[in-house]
């Protein structure tokens, strides 16, 4: 990898540019077989250098260039370099805003490259230019290695989907295609559905977020399920053929070993037969020598033994009969040995066939057990992953609820702050009013008439405050109803705030009524300060108007805050309902998976019991076959013993005949 880094620096310097520090750092920390340059803004010179390096690179199998802000020229240079690469299996070009030139370069890459198996093109704009996307689809149709393609968020229209459908008709390798969040629509969905019957390898096609009708989605799901079943069946057949080929090879080796052992035993038997035949030939030779000696004696003594010619002829006739008997006995022995050899070979062949059949049955049962165990392990892994996802979703739910609580507490704190501010303003206004009333009590003897007008105005203010109180009550009631529907805690808080507000308003009314009573008691005595009180009353009325406007503004702000709080609570509630729905769906899926696992375990138990019974049956058959072989071997040994005894009897008979013949008495002593 250090050589790769030096080559990159050298190429950048040759092109007259400085190498990027971020790229050098990533190359310095390069893991084995993977180059990750995600979120690095690659320049055109860097892309040119990387394209030249990737042409002959044999160590990298994964290339990640997501969110690299690649230009059209840089993308073209990089993909040109990848066209000659024969090692990279995974290519990620997510979020690079690839356009017309990028789509054409990708089409050329798919036509020429024969190694990339996974291509990620999420968050690009390949579908915006129809001609360039048609070129890309042509490259996809001609490709023979790509198995996984991600085209999410690429602005693919129904025409682009039609081009993809034509490409899928000619492509027999692609297995997974992700088209989520595009603009495929009804026409594009129908085109994809129409191309699926001619494509038997694609087993996953995602069309969510494309405004595709539900019937088209169902048709796509059915086709994908069919192709997935075919894919799983193909994989199973591949694994089975692999296992069967291994088993056949093993059986062939075993058969060759058995054949060699059989040939060795046959050779040994042939050697034994040859030795026995040599021994019998030696004995026959000895007999012939003895006969020759007798014939020489007879020829030498013909003149003297003319009287014994008849006896000699008789003895010759007897010897011929004995020779014929010996030949017939030898032929019978040979035929018996050949027949026994044939029977033994047939029995060995039958035993080997039965053993091979038993081995095949045993291998098939073992293979089924392995497949079922693999399925159970896969289901357990899926169950664990789903449990982890459920735990993560629960964690997210707790985090969201905690964040919601924090937001509610912040909103309540803001609301309390605004209320305290309004209460402080009200208290300031009340203090001001009390000061003015005390000042007026000193001068009310001169302003009785002005005070009466002020009382009228205060009465009007009281009426307006009562109306405002009624409006506040109505608003509080509506807010309380909404809060009761949304959250019990918010309802209690709203009630508390409403009670405090009502208590504050009632206190204000009580103070106003007390001030009115005091003013009525003193207005009779103070009629001289009316003019001065009128001026001050006008000032107070202006101040009261300002305070009232301020109160209205604060109430408006409070209503806005309440509306925001209600909207936030509703949004969070909707999100929680959606998450609960997803969790319920996942729980149902887990329950179905548990049921499937239980069913598979039951099937595994049944298969194991059947397999155990079959093994017991095969063992009993093997035992019976071994017993038959033992009996046959005992019978062969018995026949051999009988033949040996018969041959010894014949030899003894011949020797006895030769020793008891009259020629022996006439022969001279040795």
Calculate the alpha carbon distances from 629 to 535, 553, 603 in Å: 138, 111, 38
Per the rule left: phi > 0, alpha: psi between -120 and 50, beta: everything else, 155 is left
Distance CA 254, CA 258 (A): 6
Per-residue model confidence (pLDDT) at position 93 = 94
Identify the H or E element spanning 34: strand 34-36
Distance CA 139, CA 305 (A): 115
Contacts with 263 (C-beta within 8 Å, 6 or more apart), sequence order: none
Distance CA 540, CA 432 (A): 9
pLDDT tens across 83-126, in order?
A: 989 999 999 999 998 989 999 999 999 999 999 999 999 999 99
Query: Quick check: 165 pLDDT over 50?
Result: yes
pLDDT tens across 172-181, in order?
A: 899 999 999 9
Distance CA 486, CA 566 (A): 8
Nearest partner of 121 among 70, 60, 54, judged by Cα: 70
Q: How many residues does the chain have?
A: 670
Are the C-beta atoms of residues 134 and 163 closer than 8 Å to each other?
yes
pLDDT confidence tier of residue 625, bands split at 50, 70 and 90? confident
**What are the structure tokens assigned to 327, written together?**
């030949």
Per-residue model confidence (pLDDT) at position 349 = 83
pLDDT confidence tier of residue 669, bands split at 50, 70 and 90? very low
Contacts with 145 (C-beta within 8 Å, 6 or more apart), sequence order: 113, 114, 115, 116, 117, 173
Strands (E), 546-592: none
Name which residue leads in pLDDT, 267 or 495.
267
Mean pLDDT of the chain: 81
Instruction: Point out the least confidently predicted range of 33-37, 56-60, 147-151, 298-302.
Output: 298-302
Q: In what order do the strands lie in the sheet with 204-206?
A: 34-36, 62-64, 90-92, 118-120, 148-150, 176-178, 204-206
* Interhelix angle 214-300/309-443, nearest 10 degrees: 160
Are the C-beta atoms of residues 305 and 298 closer than 8 Å to each other?
yes
In sequence order, what are the beta bridge partners of 25? none
Per-residue model confidence (pLDDT) at position 437 = 65
DSSP-assigned letters across all residues of 187-210: HHHHHHHHHGGG--S--EEE-TTS
pLDDT confidence tier of residue 311, bands split at 50, 70 and 90? low
Name which residue leads in pLDDT, 176 or 40.
176
Per-residue model confidence (pLDDT) at position 643 = 84
Segment of 162-166, 303-307, 607-611 carrying the highest mean pLDDT: 162-166
Strands (E), 200-354: 204-206
DSSP-assigned letters across all residues of 37-95: -TT----HHHHHHHHHHHHS--S--EEE-TT----HHHHHHHHHHHHT-SS--EEE-TT
Per-residue model confidence (pLDDT) at position 558 = 76
pLDDT tens across 534-560, in order?
A: 777 677 778 777 777 877 887 787 778
Are the C-beta atoms of residues 169 and 192 closer than 8 Å to each other?
no
pLDDT tens across 384-415, in order?
A: 887 787 788 778 777 877 777 787 788 778 77
Calculate the alpha carbon distances from 473 to 422, 476, 565 in Å: 17, 5, 19
Query: Quick check: 670 pLDDT over 50?
Result: no
Distance CA 321, CA 319 (A): 5
Calculate the alpha carbon distances from 560 to 284, 415, 465, 642 in Å: 132, 11, 21, 120
Contacts with 133 (C-beta within 8 Å, 6 or more apart), sequence order: 103, 126, 127, 156, 160, 163
The whole-angstrom distance between residue 649's C-alpha and the CA centroid of its chain comes to 82
pLDDT tens across 207-251, in order?
A: 999 999 999 999 999 999 998 988 888 888 888 888 888 888 888
Instruction: Point out the least confidently predicted range of 67-76, 296-305, 652-661.
Output: 296-305
Instruction: Point out the least confidently predicted range of 5-9, 150-154, 367-371, 524-528.
Output: 524-528
What average pLDDT does this structure show over 425-446? 73
Query: Quick check: 141 pLDDT over 70?
Result: yes
Per-residue model confidence (pLDDT) at position 527 = 67
Per-residue model confidence (pLDDT) at position 308 = 62
What average pLDDT does this structure show over 144-153? 94
Identify the H or E element spanning 120: strand 118-120
Name which residue leads in pLDDT, 246 or 506.
246
DSSP assignment letter at 307: G
Distance CA 642, CA 645 (A): 5
Per-residue model confidence (pLDDT) at position 634 = 87
Nearest partner of 286 among 646, 651, 643, 644, judged by Cα: 651
Distance CA 132, CA 84 (A): 22
CB-facing half-sphere around the CA of 646: CA atoms within 13 A: 13
Query: Quick check: 665 pLDDT over 50?
Result: no
Distance CA 45, CA 53 (A): 12
Per-residue model confidence (pLDDT) at position 388 = 80
Per-residue model confidence (pLDDT) at position 138 = 94
Are the C-beta atoms of residues 372 and 600 closer than 8 Å to each other?
yes
pLDDT tens across 66-79, in order?
A: 998 888 899 999 99
Per-residue model confidence (pLDDT) at position 663 = 47
What average pLDDT does this structure show over 365-376? 78
Distance CA 52, CA 71 (A): 17
Three-state helix/strand/coil letters over 323-372: HHHHHHHHHHHHHHHHHHHHHHHHHHHHHHHHHHHHHHHHHHHHHHHHHH
Distance CA 155, CA 146 (A): 22
Are the C-beta atoms of residues 93 and 123 closer than 8 Å to each other?
no
Per-residue model confidence (pLDDT) at position 122 = 92
Query: Quick check: 590 pLDDT over 50?
Result: yes
Calculate the alpha carbon distances from 663 to 259, 311, 321, 660 in Å: 55, 9, 18, 8
Query: Quick check: 494 pLDDT over 80?
Result: no
Three-state helix/strand/coil letters over 421-445: HHHHHHHHHHHHHHHHHHHHHHHCC
Are the C-beta atoms of residues 60 and 35 closer than 8 Å to each other?
yes
Distance CA 545, CA 293 (A): 167
Per-residue model confidence (pLDDT) at position 134 = 94
Per-residue model confidence (pLDDT) at position 219 = 92
Are the C-beta atoms of residues 647 and 280 closer than 8 Å to each other?
yes
* Interhelix angle 158-170/130-142, nearest 10 degrees: 20
Query: Quick check: 9 pLDDT over 80?
Result: yes
């Amino acid at each position: 990898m250090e050589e790769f880094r030096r080559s990159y620096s050298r190429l950048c310097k040759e092109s007259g540019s400085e190498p990027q520090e971020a790229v050098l750092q990533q190359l310095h920390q390069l893991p084995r077989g993977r180059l990750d340059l995600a979120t690095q803004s690659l320049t055109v010179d860097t892309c040119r250098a990387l394209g030249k390096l990737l042409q002959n690179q044999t160590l990298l199998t994964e290339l990640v260039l997501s969110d690299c802000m690649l230009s059209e020229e840089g993308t073209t240079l990089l993909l040109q370099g990848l066209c000659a690469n024969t090692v990279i299996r995974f290519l990620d070009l997510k979020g690079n805003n690839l356009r017309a030139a990028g789509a054409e370069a990708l089409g050329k890459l798919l036509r020429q490259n024969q190694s990339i198996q996974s291509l990620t093109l999420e968050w690009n704009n390949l579908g915006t230019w129809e001609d360039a996307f048609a070129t890309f689809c042509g490259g996809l149709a001609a490709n023979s290695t790509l198995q996984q393609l991600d085209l999410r968020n690429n602005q693919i229209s129904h025409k682009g989907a039609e081009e993809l459908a034509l490409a899928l008709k000619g492509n027999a390798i692609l297995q997974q295609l992700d088209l989520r969040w595009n603009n495929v629509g009804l026409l594009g969905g129908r085109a994809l559905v129409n191309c699926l019957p001619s494509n038997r390898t694609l087993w996953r096609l995602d069309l969510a977020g494309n405004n595709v009708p539900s019937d088209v989605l169902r048709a796509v799901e059915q086709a994908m399920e069919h192709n997935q079943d075919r894919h799983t069946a193909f994989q199973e057949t591949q694994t089975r053929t692999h296992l069967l080929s291994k088993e056949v090879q093993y059986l062939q080796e075993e058969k060759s070993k058995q054949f060699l052992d059989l040939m060795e035993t046959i050779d040994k038997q042939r050697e034994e037969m040859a030795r026995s035949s040599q021994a019998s030939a030696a004995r026959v030779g000895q007999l012939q020598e003895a006969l020759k000696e007798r014939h020489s004696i007879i020829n030498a003594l013909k003149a003297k033994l003319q009287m014994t010619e008849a006896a000699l002829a008789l003895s010759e006739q007897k010897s011929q009969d004995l020779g014929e008997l010996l030949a017939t006995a030898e032929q019978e022995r040979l035929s018996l040995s050949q027949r026994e050899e044939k029977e033994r070979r047939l029995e060995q062949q039958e035993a080997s066939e039965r053993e091979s059949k038993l081995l095949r049955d045993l291998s098939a049962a073992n293979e089924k057990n392995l497949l079922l165990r693999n399925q159970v392990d896969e289901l357990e892994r899926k169950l664990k992953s789903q449990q982890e996802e459920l735990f993560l979703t629960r964690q997210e739910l707790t985090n969201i609820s905690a964040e919601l609580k924090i937001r509610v507490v912040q909103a309540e704190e803001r609301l309390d702050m605004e209320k305290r501010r309004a209460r402080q303003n009200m208290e300031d206004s009340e203090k001001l009013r009390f000061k003015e009333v005390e000042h007026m009590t000193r001068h009310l003897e001169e302003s009785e008439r002005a005070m009466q007008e002020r009382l009228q105005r205060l009465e009007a203010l009281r009426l307006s405050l009562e109306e405002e109180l009624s409006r506040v009550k109505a608003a509080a009631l509506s807010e309380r109803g909404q809060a009761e529907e949304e959250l019990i805690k918010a309802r209690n808080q709203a009630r508390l705030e409403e009670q405090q507000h009502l208590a504050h308003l009632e206190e204000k009314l009580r103070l106003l009524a007390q001030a009115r009573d005091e003013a009525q008691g003193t207005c009779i005595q103070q009629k001289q300060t009316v003019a001065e009180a009128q001026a001050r009353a006008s000032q107070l009325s202006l101040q009261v108007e300002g305070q009232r406007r301020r109160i209205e503004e604060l109430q408006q702000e409070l209503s806005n805050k309440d509306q925001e709080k209600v909207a936030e609570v509703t949004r969070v509630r909707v999100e929680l309902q959606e998450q609960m729905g997803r969790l319920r769906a996942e729980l149902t899926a887990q329950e179905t998976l548990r049921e499937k696992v239980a069913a598979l375990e039951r099937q595994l138990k049944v298969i194991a019991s059947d397999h155990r019974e079959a093994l017991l049956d095969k063992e009993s058959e093997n035992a019976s076959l071994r017993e038959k072989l033992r009996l046959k071997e005992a019978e062969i040994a018995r026949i051999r013993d009988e033949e040996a005894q018969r041959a010894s009897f014949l030899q003894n008979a011949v020797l006895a005949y030769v020793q008891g013949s009259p020629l022996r008495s006439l022969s001279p002593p040795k």
